[in-house]
Amino acid sequence: MHTINHTATTILPAPAHIVWQHLFTELNGTSTWWHPHNTFRPGPTPPDHLGGATHVTVHTNGVNKPGPKIHFTATTTHITPGTHYAASHTGHFHGHTTIHLTPHDDTHTHLAYTFTATPHGWPHLLPISKIHANHAAATNTALTNLHRQLTSH
């Protein structure tokens, strides 16, 4: 099986604690800046707690549009509030995600995001280059949306 390895970094126009708050609002399913591609639903223990979970649905053609959906659960394996989140994945993707936040200056935060996963089930039949390209595009859209959301507050 082939593995997706994707890293994205950006400077966001808000202090780390504000970016952290927006990140976990999204992972708890109460925000939508990761649209139009992903939706999130928290498990019984929220994702900002060790062992917490987020059920992720990847809408391959966009949210509220017909088409196949990829499902996986991200379980929190490490959390340092305000700076570091790590999760392992099970479901259609097996692997892990890490997010690191570091202050860039007093009003900006550097976000580093890494996603490493192997497709399982029907998604493993798709060309890995297509999955990687779609993941990269969706992540870039999400980070652009987050940037826009942070500048509108």
Decide: 41 and 10 in contact? Cβ < 8 Å: no
**Residue range 112-148, pLDDT digits in tens:** 999 999 999 999 888 888 888 888 998 999 999 999 9
pLDDT over 90 at 152, yes or no:
no
Q: Report how far residue 142's alpha carbon sits from residue 148's, in angstroms, rounded to the nearest whole number.
A: 10
> Cα 16–53–78 angle (5° rounding)?
50
CA 24 to chain centre: 10
Provide the H-helix boundaries in the chain. 16-27, 128-151
pLDDT of residue 90: 98
**Calpha distance 69→140 (Å, rounded):** 20
Q: In one letter, which amino acid is 67?
A: G
pTM here?
0.93
Nearest 5°: phi and psi at 80?
-125, 100
pLDDT of residue 153 exceeding 70, the answer is no
**pLDDT tens readout for residues 55-89:** 999 998 888 999 999 999 999 999 999 999 999 99
Which residue from 112, 135, 151, 110 is spatially nearest to 38, judged by alpha carbons? 135
Alpha-carbon distance of 24 to 29, in angstroms, equals 8
